[in-house]
Amino acid sequence: MTLPLCLASCRIQRDIEGTDRDAFGASFRAFWDVLPKAEGSGPEDEEGASRGTGKGHLGVELDVGYVAGDDDQGLAGNEFVQLGGTQFLGPATVDLDWTLLAGSIALRGGARVEDYLVVEGIGGLGLTRLHLEAEDGALSASETFSSVGPILGLQAGVEPLPWLGAFVRSTWTGGFVPDEASLGVTDLALTLKLAKRVVAFGGWRWWDYGAEGNSGDSDVELKLSGPMLGIELRF
């Protein structure tokens, strides 16, 4: 009886792991400037507003991002994963599908280091919501992870022309309630000014998400990357 009992109880619990290198992301961002514009201290753009070299700025940013993806996770004969109280036993291939929503309300501020270089810091409150589904042909399960916590980040951008720019941005959100999760997001993008207060941006985005499983469920680790498009409104 020892061997059958061991085969039933000596399985190794794996994290739920998903990777998607072709995950399209969408983003919406709004920025409200809370400091008066600097005048006469830098080159002017097409609307006549000074860029204010060396002048600080501060604003409130609302940011929302969305991505969906899928992957297959293989399990060896002595492995299993658990989601929503359902165990998926190996050997098996588990199909994973997910949607990930991230949002934040934060202060974003910094200064122009040179005429066309802007360096900014980001700090505020962030939230993440992951809906994850799993199935292996015989069983299926789903779970939603929601988390709220601080967000911190850095952004650096260049504006060689009044209507054209580029930026790199990296943020980290650490959520603790009601679920424990973290999300790192990195953007490398170009910006195109469509109107006085409307800017389109697009490029490549990397997502690195992790969540702790509840009630014996497996932890979740997702690594995503892919093209990203977004709109920013500036007030």
113 in a structural domain: yes
pLDDT in tens, 185-196: 999 999 999 999
In a domain, 7, yes or no: no
Q: Three-state DSSP class for 6?
A: helix
- Residue 79's domain spans which residues? 15-234
In this predicted structure, the answer to whether residue 3 has a pLDDT above a threshold of 60 is: no
Q: Whole-model pTM?
A: 0.88
Residue 25, in any domain of the structure: yes
Tokens 């036993």 locate to: 89
At 54 the pLDDT is 56
User: What's the number of domains the chain is made of?
Assistant: 1
Tokens of 122: 């980001």
Q: Is residue 190 included in any domain, yes or no?
A: yes
CATH of the domain at 187: 2.40.128
State mean pLDDT over 167-186.
Answer: 96
Taking only the tens place, the pLDDT of each residue in 39-87 is 444 444 444 344 445 578 899 999 999 999 999 999 999 999 999 999 9
- Cα–Cα distance, 220 to 179 (Å, whole number): 12
Q: Is residue 210 part of a domain?
A: yes
Q: Which amino acid is at 185?
A: V
Structural domain contains residue 1: no
Q: How does pLDDT run across 23-38, given as a tens digit for each residue?
A: 999 999 999 999 865 5
Residue 10, domain member (yes or no)? no
**Tens-digit pLDDT profile for residues 97-149:** 999 999 999 999 999 887 789 999 999 999 999 999 999 999 999 999 999 99
User: Is residue 139 a part of any domain in this protein?
Assistant: yes
pLDDT at 224 over 90: yes
